[in-house]
Amino acid sequence: MNEDSSPRRNYEDALLGIVRDMSSAMHPAAEAEAEAAVSLDSALEGELGFDSLTRAELLTRIEQSFSVSLPEQVLGQADTPRALLRALLAAQDLPPDASGTHLRQARPAPAAQAPDGATTLPDVLRWHLRSHPERTHIVLLDGDGTDTPISFAQLHRRAAAIAAGLAARGVEAGTTVAIMLPTSPEYFYSFCGILLAGGIPVPLYPPARLAQIGDHLQRHAGILANAQAPILITVAQARPLAALLKAGTGTLQSVLTPQELEDGASAPAQAMLRTHDIALLQYTSGSTGSPKGVVLTHANLLANLRAMGKALAVGSQDVFVSWLPLYHDMGLIGAWLGSLYYAYPLVVMSPLAFLARPERWLWAIHKYRGTLSGGPNFAYELCLRKLASTNLAGLDLSSWRFAFNGAEPVSLQTMRAFLERFARHGLRPQAAAPVYGLAEASLGLTFPPLGRALASDCIDRAEFTRAAVAMPSRPLGERESPGQRETLEFPSCGRPLPGHEVRIVDATGRELGERHEGLLQFRGPSATSGYFRNPVQTRQLFDRGWLNTGDYAYIAADEVYITGRAKETIVRGGRNIYPYELEQAVGAIPGIRKGCVAVFGSPDPESGTERIVVMAETTEKDVQARRALHRQALQTALDVLGMPPDHIALVPPHSILKTSSGKIRRAACRERFEHGRLGRGVQAPWLQIARFGWRALRPELRRGRQTAAGLSYALYTWILFATLAPVTWLAAVALHRPALGWTFSHHAARLLLRLGAVPWFVQGLEHLPRDRPCVLVSNHASYLDGIVLVAALPTPVRMVAKRELQGQRIPGTYLASIGADFIDRFDTVREHEDVERVVAAVRAGHSALFFPEGTFGRAPGLQAFRSGAFLAAARAGAPVVPIAIRGTRSVLRDGQWLPRRGPIGVVIGSPLWPDGADWPAAMRLRNTARAEILHYCGEPDARRTTHRDARQE
């Protein structure tokens, strides 16, 4: 015990030193006494303020300092320095990471034919089993230096055992079975086992932390109920939650592990499948409420695999290297099912393994002579940012012939930088390939021609903004950026896959000519037939035989150029949420007026999440009875959404606004909620004003007079807002140009403040950069802050909001119309993607506006800042402009629905330039900007108060 204590103590001290150094870099010197309290049991997020991006940086520093390779699970599961210490000590016994010139390159397998006559996925597996059973199909990289090969024979044997276990539990043709497993051999066995049993796999994304599995499973209740899956295959830790899931879905009967299914196998399953049977339900990242499960048949999938294979001239001598999640179509269909069909090896690692050590991806391509690989744009940016030259000595990427970039906007700057840096490692310029696809097309839709270098289209910005016409312009000069001249540059995503067609239409469905921007539609043999048990969304998907992609684009010389998103998607923590189902469920509660329930999202940009609000009418006035209704509404929301709403408001009759045809006016209800108008019903404004005025005339009731005056002012502002907001929304959406939408909103917001007699001022407008993009950061104290900033800033900026707002019908559409960006704070991989997308936008000449605090409340005080805005600024080489808002918390405090008249000020500070592109430079930016805002916002430092209270406890 004593012999080991000294080395352990050395590790402990060194680890705490790293954590303290990072904490010191994040916090100003005035907080040094708080940082000294860092201990092994300090909560990384709750106490030290390490968000997911900062934890990724911490993991990198630990690995570099101790020369170890930590398992990728550490990134998601370690929440204290003590947990990191345990992982560090355990890593000392692991074999060294597989990187460097000493790697032995894998020998290619003999050539094999593709099963062109196969009509289902099980046919494909059985064809390879007959032809070459011992051929390596999958190589699983475990992250600890162990590579686990899986042959076709092994895959079929284990899958057949699971299929028998499923058949013994009643699974037959057409039965849906959900899978929630990490990247592992069991995932492949389970997926194929479901198919062999005749079932329909329903992939669900697994939790990053096992400690959160209960909440995570509840989030999937909507999918499980929609899919009507009687069985969920998952990890052992989920078994105790079976009863909870059964109650939440109504159809789930069993929660089983792959091992339990194999152990309970009996007679082999003998399912007979047809080509047009459903092969897969691809849900959109954990949709709930009204889930959209894309129906993909065996015919759809095989058509897409064959079309992609033809476009890429794929053969069994290729090697696909992937870190992509297996619950998303790109990793599941593109990486794995493509390798299953063409019999080329799939070398696969978990997403967390890549995120923790991006070089593992490139070294896997080196070792296995990968020819096909790629991912979203952020993956390439991550390699550029995190990989030092010492990690790449001896790396050879000459085998990589198709480096696809898809699933999010492609940054030409990132791809060009990636090609330039890795050219010295053998990467050819012809490898770079922006692609476009979507689950509704099975996966791929447009690919660039093979062997062509990165292609783009430079167009005139003014003409594109004015008339949505992509007029060619001369290419950007080497020293120019899109923000320095009136030129836009879009990457070509190539031409449609063989057998598929695309077209561009306007809002009325009229097809547009070449170089006219509009909605992109497609059709072809891999197109879905619709959404599973969702006829409403299915009808919206189709347009006279064509399918809507939900994206804007234009076509030039038969090549597709994607310009932006059009579809409405509400995403919260990777899940889509739709209001109608919850409105129906809450309306069915006895005591709630049926058809008088509104569910909507209330924007909350500073926290990166969308508040879900339930407004329900009731005639009940008894306090205890209202509490019971509140509890029932909460439980109903949990059952439907898989998570609680943020606010449940029980309001009097006639408070829910409707159209003349009886449809719920969710936007108007949201406006009432955000401006404190709940419970006022639809009483005529003149009558309310008269009543308040009568109270004011009673001199003996001074308090009543003051209250009436306040309510009169609040009512007046409500009327103003109710008048201006719909007009502004409609104008911004109709203009369909972010710059024009912002300008209109700017004037509308100023008019609202002026007519509302709000004494306000803006100071420091001269500090806003005129000739270059910047990252603006502001404190957030009230729901009024967005309106105030739109009124204060004369030039358009891209507001950065939580991803959950993106697809919500009212706020999402409006934010998109003024050019907002959206960030997901609940999924680490997606947060990296979103931050990189903001970086690309800033590099392209667009300024971005962040609320970096993450939360606000009733009590005044500037909260700790999250790191995303400052990492984006440092990586983009753009200045940070601090903005301090003061007075809005007093005008409309959190939890207060009666706005009061008071002064509001906006102070814009001088630009702060990053002194580097790394994490320490971003933290220095963060500290300086926070100090500036703290000086002018007129509120105390909430972080210091928190640390002081913690020390007193």
714-945: which CATH architecture? 3-Layer(aba) Sandwich (3.40)
Checking if the pLDDT of 5 tops 90, the result is no
Every domain of the chain and the residues it spans: 2-91, 455-565, 577-682, 714-945
Checking if the pLDDT of 685 tops 70, the result is no
DSSP-assigned letters across all residues of 645-707: -SEEEEE-TT-S-B-TTS-B-HHHHHHHHHTT-TT-TT--HHHHHHHHHHHHT-TT-HHHHHH
Q: Which residues pair with 9 in a beta bridge?
A: none
HSE of 865, CA atoms in CB hemisphere, 13 A: 30
Rg (CA), the chain: 28
What is the per-residue burial (b if ≥16 Cβ within 10 Å, else e) of 761-787? ebebeebbeeeebbbbbbbbbbbbbbb
Burial class (CB in 10 A: 0-12, 13-18, 19+), 507: exposed
- Token duo for residue 104: 């032995």
pLDDT tens digit string along 797-809?
Answer: 999 988 777 767 8
pLDDT tens digit string along 92-144?
Answer: 543 334 443 334 445 556 778 899 999 999 999 999 999 999 999 999 998 66
User: Where is average pLDDT lowest: 32-41, 134-143, 412-421, 646-655?
Assistant: 32-41
pLDDT for the residue numbered 944: 64
From 2.30.38.10, 3.40.50.300, 3.20.20.70, 3.30.930.10, which CATH number describes the 455-565 domain? 2.30.38.10
Helix then strand count (H, E) for the chain reads 34, 35
Checking if the pLDDT of 30 tops 80, the result is no
More confident residue, 209 or 508: 508
Q: What is the mean pLDDT of the chain?
A: 82
More confident residue, 635 or 827: 635
Instruction: Over range 691-710, report the average pLDDT.
Output: 52
Question: Given pLDDT bands bounded at 50, 70 and 90, which one contains residue 946?
Answer: very low
Pairing relation of β-strands 904-908 and 880-886?
Answer: antiparallel
Checking if the pLDDT of 530 tops 60, the result is yes
More confident residue, 470 or 580: 470
Checking if the pLDDT of 654 tops 70, the result is yes
SS3 string, 498-523, reads: CCCEEEEECCCCCECCCCECEEEEEE
pLDDT for the residue numbered 484: 39
pLDDT for the residue numbered 219: 60
- Which residues, at least 6 apart from 502, have a Cβ–Cβ distance to it below 8 Å? 445, 446, 496, 520, 521, 522, 555, 560
The CA distances from residue 455 to 51, 605, 876, in Å, are 37, 36, 23
pLDDT for the residue numbered 603: 63
Checking if the pLDDT of 604 tops 70, the result is no
Q: Which of 768, 799, 795 is nearest to 878 (CA)?
A: 768
pLDDT tens digit string along 66-97?
Answer: 877 777 667 667 778 888 888 887 765 433 34
Rank 11-20, 254-263, 304-313 by mean pLDDT and report only the highest: 304-313
pLDDT tens digit string along 219-244?
Answer: 677 788 899 999 999 988 767 665 56
More confident residue, 213 or 861: 861
CA–CA distance, 808 with 376 (Å, rounded to integer): 24
Q: What is the DSSP letter of 172?
A: -
Instruction: Over range 275-296, report the average pLDDT.
Output: 79
Strand order in the sheet with 444-447: 436-437, 444-447, 495-496
Instruction: Over range 884-913, report the average pLDDT.
Output: 88
Q: Do residues 813 and 886 lie in contact, with contact meaning Cβ atoms separated by under 8 Å?
A: no
Checking if the pLDDT of 699 tops 90, the result is no
Is domain 2-91 in CATH 1.10.357.10, yes or no?
no
pLDDT tens digit string along 346-381?
Answer: 999 998 889 888 999 999 999 999 999 999 888 998
Pairing relation of β-strands 136-141 and 147-151?
Answer: antiparallel
Coil, strand or helix at 399: coil
Question: Given pLDDT bands bounded at 50, 70 and 90, which one contains residue 7?
Answer: low
Question: Given pLDDT bands bounded at 50, 70 and 90, which one contains residue 15?
Answer: confident
Checking if the pLDDT of 554 tops 50, the result is yes
Question: Given pLDDT bands bounded at 50, 70 and 90, which one contains residue 549?
Answer: very high
Q: What percent of the chain has pLDDT over 90?
A: 45
| CATH number given to 577-682 | 3.30.300.30
pLDDT for the residue numbered 679: 57
pLDDT for the residue numbered 208: 57
Question: Given pLDDT bands bounded at 50, 70 and 90, which one contains residue 765?
Answer: very high
